[in-house]
Amino acid sequence: MGYLGVEAAAHILHGEKVPENIDSGCELISNDNVYTEENQKLLFPFSEE
C-alpha cells in the first residue's frame, strides 16, 4: 500500500492523472501460512531470490 501511495503521489506531482481508488488487494497471513512461497512474495515483493 505504501509503495502504491508514493507512486500515485509521484504521478500527481508530474501532472499525471491517477485513479480515484487503487485496489492494493488483501491476503490474510498468519503463523500457519507466513512461510508459503506465495505469501513470501507478497511480503517481500522487491527481494531477490
- Please indicate, yes or no, if residue 37 is contained in any of the structural domains: yes
Nearest-angstrom CA–CA distance, 24 and 47: 19
Q: Total domain count for the chain?
A: 1
Contacts of 4 (CB under 8 A, 6+ apart): 22, 24
Q: Which carries the bigger pLDDT value, residue 1 or residue 45?
A: 45
Residue 48 lies in a domain: no
Q: How confident is the model at residue 1 (pLDDT cuts 50, 70, 90)?
A: confident
pTM of the entire predicted model? 0.54
Closest CA to 6 of 47, 48, 46: 46
Residues spanned by the domain of 32: 2-43
Mean pLDDT computed over 2-18: 95
The string of pLDDT tens digits covering residues 13-48 is 999 999 999 998 889 999 999 999 999 998 888 776
* Per-residue pLDDT at 49: 59
